Structures are given as structure tokens and as C-alpha cells.
Amino acid sequence: NLGEAGMLELPEAVAQLPSLRKLWLTHNALRALPDGLARLGRLQALLAPDNVFKELPPVVTRLESLEQLFFNLNPIRELPPGIGALTNLEWLDLSECQLASLPPEIGALTRLQRLDLHSNKIPTLPPTISALARLDRLSLHSNDMTLVPPEIGACTALTWLSLNANKLRVLPPSIGALTRMIRLSLHINHLEHLPPEIGNLVHLEALRCLWLYSNQLTSVPPELGRLTGLKRLWLDRNRLETVPAELAQLSSLQEIYLDQNPIRHDQLPPQLALLP
């Protein structure tokens, strides 16, 4: 563990530890890594958040045994195509960097289970995201996203998807294919409507919370009433004048937030009084 050691550069001697499995470099002032690290053929985790890397060091793409790679909190603007060589990666954290795009080679990381990309400047995802069939958690909040590609629907192992605090106006119908979802956050966007296919999530009884506040929604699809496992629903701070009577079918619902919408009480469906 070489975290918080005040290092400006990593000693070459580290490359003389061929059995090293985990290397912590957290909170230093590192700008580069020595090429000799390529000799660490058994390295499974490289954790280097909160340094001053402006790019992913080239040697990193040669560490093909890596399962965890953390370079969050670094001013990295782009990823090299060589990232696709890290086919054993299970967790990649590049949050709070300055990424403006992702290379298509990200789709080669087919063992990836967790991908943290929040707090960057990413406008969309490459279509190759569809290859990440094992991806369980994807954090994309606080980016510049204007488009979620339809290929997201192929990531059917997803249980956690954060898309809040972006610039989204629409969602692809393929969102309805993510039937293992537990948490879906869509608040603080520019969404004007939801695709009816969101009702296909009826099979994902695990979904408990749905965040939709601070958008520009003028309507809610009746199909939302099919999410019978839902416990909390945030629809506040939108442009809703009413909500569909089908919301009364949300038999598990414990909390619903509708404040700061232009809704009058006499415009609410009387069926909502049947909610627990």
C-alpha cells in the first residue's frame, strides 16, 4: 500500500515484485507509471484514484491479469483503444475524471460487472456497450448525456443504473428489457415522456425505487402501474397535470411524491385513494 505517500513518481523497485496482486497508489501526485510494471503478471488490482494522471498510462493496458482498475479522480480526458486488452476486468472506476467519450473497445471487457463513469462529460455510450452481458451496475449520473443508445437493452444483467443529472429528453424503448433492475434513477434530466415499454419491467419485481423528479414530464404512461413491486416513486417537480388511474395498481407503494406539479386535487384519479 503506497497510498498517501506524497509520491511524485513510482519507484522502479515496485516492478521487482512479480507476485504482487494488489497495488494501492491512492492520493499521491503521480503523473505516469514506469513501463517496468508490465512485469507484474499476477497483478489483479491497480488502485490509483486521486492523482494527477492526464491519461491512462500505456503500461496499464499491458496488465492483462487486472480484475479491478480504479483511476477515478484524475484529469483523464480520453481512454486509449488498448483498454480493450484488459479482458479480465470485473470493476472499472473512471468516475470524476474529464472523459468526453468512451472508445468502442470498451465492449471487449466482457467480464465487466461494475462500471463507474459518473461525473464526467460523456454525451453517450458506444453501441458496443451491448457486449457487456455481465454488467451489474452502471453509474452514469452527472455527465452530459443527451442519448442513451438502444443497445443498452442488451445489458440484461443490470440491477443498478444511474442516469440522473444529465440532459436526456427521451429513453430508448429497449430500457424495458432490463428486467433485473433494482434501482433506476432518472431524475434531474429533461425527460418529456417515458416509453410505454417501461411497463415491461413488470417482471422485475425487485424494482423498489424509481426516481423521476426534476424532469419535464407532461404525462406518465399507464404501463407504470404494472410495476407492482415499487415501493417509492418520485414524480415531483415535473409538468404533470394528472396521473393515470393505473397507478392505483401499485399495491406495494409506500411513498409517492407529486409536489411541484400543476396538479389540482380534483384532477387526481379517485382510484389513488385505494393505495395502502
Encode the chain (276 residues) as per-residue pLDDT tens digits. Answer: 666 667 799 988 898 898 999 999 999 999 999 999 999 999 999 999 999 999 999 999 999 999 999 999 999 999 999 999 999 999 999 999 999 999 999 999 999 999 999 999 999 999 999 999 999 999 999 999 999 999 999 999 999 999 999 999 999 999 989 988 888 899 999 999 999 888 777 655 567 889 999 999 999 999 888 888 888 999 999 999 989 999 988 888 899 999 999 998 777 877 777 666
- Specify whether 128 is located in the same domain as 72: no
- What pTM did the predictor assign? 0.91
* pLDDT score of 117: 98
- Specify whether 63 is located in the same domain as 97: yes
* pLDDT score of 202: 61
* pLDDT score of 1: 62
Count of other CB atoms within 10 angstroms of residue 22: 12
Q: What angle do CA 171, 257, 120 make, to 5 degrees?
A: 45
Looking at the structure of the chain, the number of domains it has is: 2
* pLDDT score of 67: 99
Question: Domain of 153?
Answer: 123-276
* pLDDT score of 205: 56
**Domain contains 192:** yes
pLDDT digits (tens, 9 = 90+) for 79-110: 999 999 999 999 999 999 999 999 999 999 99
CATH number, domain with residue 15: 3.80.10.10
DSSP output for 173-222: GGGGG-TT-SEEE--SS------GGGGGGGG-TT--EEE--SS--S---G
pLDDT digits (tens, 9 = 90+) for 223-262: 888 888 888 999 999 999 989 999 988 888 899 999 999 9
- Specify whether 65 is located in the same domain as 38: yes
- Specify whether 91 is located in the same domain as 131: no
Burial of 168 (0-12, 13-18, 19+ CB in 10 A): buried
